[in-house]
Every structure is written in structure tokens, then in C-alpha cells.
Chain A
Amino acid sequence: MSCCAAFAMHTELAKPTGLSSDELRVASSALGEGLYQSEIAVPLMHCAACMQVIEQGLLTLPGVVSARANLSTRRVTVRWAEPDVPPLVAFIESLGYAAHMTEEPASARNKTLSDLLLAVGVAGFATGNIMLLSVSIWSGAEGATRDLFHWVSALVAIPVIAYSGRIFFRSAWNALRHGRMNMDVPIVIGVSLAYATSLYETITHGEHAYFDASVSLLFFLLIGRTLDHVMRDRARAAVSGLVRLSPRGAVRLRADGGRDYIALSQIEPGMDLVVRPGDRIPVNATVVEGISELDCSLATGESAPRSIRAGSQLLAGTHNLSGALVIRATAAAKDSFLAEMVGLMEAAEQGRGIYRRLADRASALYSPVVHLTALLTFIGWMVATGDWHHAITVATAVLIITCPCALGLAVPIVQVMAARRLFERGIMMKDGGALERLAEIGHVVFDKTGTLTMGIPELESSAFADPQAAEIAVALARASSHPYSKAIVAGMPLASAGPRLESLSEQPGFGVEAVVNGALWRLGKASWVSPEGHPEASGTVLGRDGVVAARFAFSDKLRSGASRAVQGLREQGVTSEILSGDTSASVGMVASSLRIERAASDLLPAEKVRRLQQLAGAGTKTLMVGDGINDAPAMMAAHVSMAPATAADIGRNAADFVFLHESLDAVPHALDVAGQAERLVKQNFALAVGYNVLAVPLAIMGHVTPLLAALAMSGSSILVIANAMRLGVGRIGPRWSRSSIGTPGLLTSEARG
């Protein structure tokens, strides 16, 4: 596809998922009569040609009934019929697009959006018609004509109040029932009072009716709400489209020797399960048979792989690297390590105070003032003139003028803009409250493995005794999928095809061996490569007939932009700290290279939570950036949290922000946007209040006509929206923009043939 300048993905995300047909069936939803529907996320699909290739390609597979690509959600919906289980994911990957199964059905998400759109449509229709009628009234329609227009307006406004307005009525009712105030309470009171008095005016052949004001108010606010929903939905879709890292089930080894695939929830303690190299451990278990190495980085934060053999204890969520294992479950999925963390998370969440959003705090101050002013105006006019009809009309005008149209838009519209700016940089915001909390922080706590570092070993140094050894090392490393082997291949780029390897084999848990020109070469653990060698031999070596020929040292590679991010935070006056589950040696190394003074190692998940609670107790608002299963509880305890796209599923769900790019620049950048958004929100509040200070005295004096009210209301809303649009336009520090665009990450483009 010549048109496709496809995007190179982050290594972890682009890795083939190797989904078995059993797993595909478990992840698909049954439609009945042997028909199944699967949702497959294809994050790299981005143009018409991509959609066509994928859709038409899928239709050639046996069993596929229909395939429809959705570019907005970057998903393909495929319907297929039994008995065939088409290799959907593998096929899309063979076309050159990374793909993985998702479970959340798209229909549930679209329901809310279409409800909102419908509400906007109804409100828009009514606003247009009522405005037309109002213009004739303002231009001087009188007597029976005016009454007719008022009656038509009253009729047209009913569906808006009843249908479109119910979103606000429900939210206001919920707030009041729990004894709280939110922005929707004054909106609802204003709209209903305006409608009621206008109806009264219409019946009594009055002059001033505010149908247009009450309807256009709902219309404007609904537009803001729909935009907000679209933004958050996009973020949610992007996050849920990431690779699922916890398994959906496991292959059970029955007592009679047969094998079958069962879903995660059906695993019971005592069952024997088969775990292939590359799989994640589904539940807490002990090893029955097999030797392998275990990558615990996502579960506990340890960066070095751990050797395991029969009898070893395994935590759910760890990653089996080199050998096939038979394990015996010691706990069901609901009692495993992951579930323990969920328990800790719930406890941590309860410990954290409920955050009240800025708009709600503002309306708690604002609503009583507004309602009191309207009431006093009514009483004042009653005392002065004794004409209760006139008093009510003026009081209604006060309510409409002060109705927080601008105030209701002031916060959401800024947050929508901020979410857009963040989205452009690959940062997903889960909700607007998180942005407000982010603007308050003064301290950042980082996890080490997978957050400050990539969690992937990198070849640090190699020493060769034999010139031929380098070529052989790379050739042997190519044959294995162990992280150290991959690091050797990546660290020593050799153009040649390498020597001819004979009787190549991989010994799980030890290394790779092969015969080259009659000599036995081994790459792997020092104790295995040269068994009778020096006792001090440790680490990873290459040996020829038991004699060490080369040594390799690995380090956990720092995430790109890590030191720049920490430096940038320091310049913004934000302090940093490391909390890690890894050994003190490797934590110390990272801390010193990033010049972070406070670093704690060997921490259990509960200890991380305790540290964050201690910080919160001291009044420090903290941002937690982490990726592991063990970080999830601490992320809940933090004031606000952030996770990379490569984080464990549970961490990604717990985080308020998820960044898709590799670079850690996302942290200061998000802080920067949050700070700007906070300033703009405050400006918008000032604008809205300033407008009220001007207009309210006029309203109290009784000089506000429906025409003036309509002008003032739309004027202030447009002002607030225009101010919000300034967010990020040429103001985001060029330092961050340049640095993060130049960094190879998720969205680095790469031309494809």
C-alpha cells in the first residue's frame, strides 16, 4: 500500500500476541446459531486503503460472514460462524498491522453518545424555531400574533425541557438528594422557572417570554457536554485498545492426560495447567514440572529474570520466558495476587479524600448567592410596587441573566481543549477532575522498572577473547527469544548471516548451544557454559567447549526523556522520588543517573501505599507514575496517577492518565497543560463573574428584556469558549514540543513499501 505511511509501534505493543483459537472463542461474544462476533483493535489502521485491505482480506478467510472496520475507534468488527475459528488476529498481523482482541463491545459506548447527539438535535431544532419566532416578537409583533408565537414557542420548547433537559434534571436531583450542590442545580432551577413564568405570561397575554433563553441555554450546555463525552470516549477507546497483558484463560491438563482450554474464572486450586514460553501465569501456582526463567517486572518490579524449577512459587501476572511449564494452581483467579492488589486498591481509595471538582465548588458558592439575589429582587419589587406579577417577571430576568451558562461552560470547555492538546501528544485523560488535581501537585513518585526504565534489558558491555566469538554470539542469540538474547542481537548489529550452526538447541533456564566447525559453543548462564570453570564466573557468557570466550553485562535501559523529564519537573518546582520493588543496587544506579535523592527499594505494594498515605498526611499532593501490578494500589492512594501504555492492565485502569509514547516527557508536558488549563479556568470564572457584575444590576432594576437576555447570554458563552480555545496555541513550551516530537515512540512514522 503505497499510500500508507504506517506507524511503527512500541515494541511491546507490536509483539505478535499468538492468540490461540480457544482464546479467540473465549474473547468473542456468541450471537446464537453458531455465529460469533469479535472486536479486534487495529491501532495502526489509518486510511481508506488500510480499511479495504483488512475488510476484504478478512472476508476471504473461511467462516467469516462479515467484517467492518471503524476508523474512529480503530477497530474491526468481525462476524464468523462455527465450525471454523478463523485466525483473525494472526491474519491481520500477517497484513502488517498489529492487532489484538478487545472485549468491551462498541455498542454500549455508542449508546450514550447517540443519546447525547439526539438531545442536542432536539434542542437545536427547537432553539432554531423559537429564535425565529422570537426575532419577529423583538421586531415588534403585537397582540394576537405575539400570543400565537408565544404559544407555538411554548409548545416547541416542551420536548427540549422534557427530553434534552432530563440529563440536567437527573444530575441535579442526584446532587440534591445527597445534600450536595452542583452546577446543574442552578441551571435546572433557572430553566424551569423561566419556562413556568413564560407560560404564565403567554396565558395572560404578557409581553415578555423567555422561551428562547431557556431553550438555547440547554442547547449550549448540551454541546459542551457532548464534546466532553466525545473526548473522554476517545481516551477510553484508546486505552482499552491496548494489548491485554493478563491471560483470558489457560490450558488445563486433565488427569487422563487430555488438554482443554478453560476461562480464567473456571480455574480452581489444585488444577494442573500448561504454560508455554511467552505466556503470563494466570493464577498463583507452584511449578510441577519444567525449568524456565520468570520475568517479574510487571508484578513485583524486579528487573532481573528469576530462575524457576519444580517447587518454585509463581505469582499471577508474571511472565514465563524460556521453557514450557506444568504448574499447579494454588489459588483461584479471584484469590490470586491480582485480586489481592484489587483489595489493597479499594482500601487505598477509601483512604483518599473525595475530591470535589472546581465547578462543583464554584457552584456551591454561586448558587446560594444567585438564588438569594433573585429572591431579594422579588421581595424588593413587591415592597416597592406591590405588583407581584411585575416582581416575578423581574426576578425571573435576574435568574436567567445569572443562570450559569458561561459558568457551566467555563470549566468543561477548557478541559475539552486540554484533553485535545494532550491527545495530540499521545496522553489520554480519563476525566476532567484529574486535570484539576494534576495542576495541584508538588511531588512526583516514580516506579522504577517499566516506568523510569523500559523494563527491557540492554547490552551494556561485552568483552571478547576470540574475534570469531562476536559473530557466533549473535547467531546463537538470534535463535532464542530470551530478553538477554534479544538485547545481544539489538546491541551488536552484524551485517553477515553468521556462521553455520549445527544441532542448535535451547536449554530452558540455561541458554542456547550449537556446534560450529566441530566445537560446542554455548551462550547462557556462566555456571552452565563452563561447569568446572572459575567459581566467580557469573552472569551471561559465551563459551567454547567449556572455556569462556566472551562476557556480557546488561542494564535496564532508561526510558527516553527520563532525565529530561526529571530535570523539567525540578525546574517547575516539583520534587521527585523513586519507590521500587527492585533491589537497592539497581534502584541506586537509576536514582544517581537521574539525580533523584529520595529512592526506596525492596518495597512491597502495601509499603508503597503507606509511603503515599504518609505524603498525603503531610499535605503533599503527589502524582504517582507507575506501570506494575504492584503499583496499582499506590496509584489509587496518590492524589493523581499516570501510567505508560505498556503498564499492566490493572495499572492502566487505575491511572488517571495513560501516555502512549515511549518518552517520559509526557509527565512534565501533562503538568504544563494542567497548569495552563487551571489558569484559563480561573480566567473564565473571572469573565463569567465580571459579566454578572455588569448585567445583574440592570436585571434587578428591571431593564432586562428577553432580547437583552438572549444577547448577553450568548455573548458571554462565546467569550468563554473563545478564551478556552487559546489553550496550547503557541503557548506550550517549545522545549517540550520539540523534544517529544523528535523522540522515537509509538507514533514515529516510518515509510512502508
Chain B
Amino acid sequence: MVALLDRHAGSSNERGTRLMATLLYLVPIALLLGGLGLTAFVWALKSGQYEDMDGAAERVLLDD
């Protein structure tokens, strides 16, 4: 999608600048979302959620 826009943008200087401006906030947002995912994973790891995978699967069945 971005690449297609880019190709069209190549024709006009003005559109190119607009595209760069779009990328300037789209790329950080993409990285931020990815980073959020990574942070969630690190948090899950540190809080011991990967220490007993079999147990976690079974504990679903308990009522308490």
C-alpha cells in the first residue's frame, strides 16, 4: 500500500512531502504497537506465566 502510494507520489513533489509526513507518524505508531506487544510478552514472562504451561491449561477447569 505504502509502496503504491510512494510510486504515485514520485510524480509530484508536493505529494511526496505529504507522504513523508504521513510516514513520519505512521512508522513510529507501528513500532510503538509492536513494542507494546513485546512489553506485554516481557511482562508475562517476568510474572512467571510461562513457568507452568501444562498447569495453566489444566487450571482452567477448576472452579475457584
Chain A residues engaging chain B, CB cutoff 8 angstroms: 47-49, 51-52, 69-73, 106, 110, 113-114, 117-118, 121-122, 125, 128-129, 132, 136-137, 139-145, 148, 152, 156
Contacts and interface: CB of A to CB of B under 8 A. Distances in A.
Contacts of A139: 3-4
A110 B53 CA distance: 13
Nearest to A56: B64
A51 B38 contact: no
A141 B61 contact: no
B41 A156 contact: no
Given A51-B59, A140-B7, A145-B23, A125 B37 contact: yes
Contacts of B23: 145, 148
A70 B51 contact: yes
Which one of B3, B16, B53 has the greatest number of beta carbons of chain A within 10 Å?
A: B3
Contact of B52 (A47, A73, A122, A136): A73
A93 B45 CA distance: 33
B52 A125 contact: no
Main secondary structure of the interface of B (DSSP, over half): helix
A51 B31 contact: no
Top 10 A-B pairs ranked by shortest CB distance?
Answer: A71-B55, A139-B3, A48-B58, A71-B54, A125-B38, A48-B61, A70-B52, A72-B54, A121-B41, A136-B3
11 contacts: A48-B61, A51-B55, A51-B58, A70-B52, A113-B50, A129-B30, A136-B6, A141-B2, A145-B6, A152-B27, A156-B31
A139 B7 CA distance: 10
A451 to B, nearest CB: 32
Interface string B6-30: 1100100000100110010001001
Interface string B36-54: 0110011001100011111
A271 to B, nearest CB: 42
Contacts of A47: 58
A121 B10 contact: no
Contact of B62 (A48, A113, A140, A144): A48
Which one of A121, A143, A145 has the greatest number of beta carbons of chain B within 10 Å?
A: A145
Interface residues of B, number: 33
Contacts of B3: 136-137, 139-141
B58 A152 contact: no
Contacts of B27: 148, 152
B38 A122 contact: yes
A118 B55 contact: no
A117 B52 CA distance: 14
Contacts of B42: 118, 121
A178 to B, nearest CB: 33
A212 to B, nearest CB: 15
A141 B6 contact: yes
B10 A117 contact: no
A137 B34 CA distance: 19
A609 to B, nearest CB: 41
B34 A129 contact: yes
A128 B41 CA distance: 15
Contact of A72 (B4, B38, B53): B53
Contact of A71 (B31, B58, B60): B58
Nearest to A138: B3
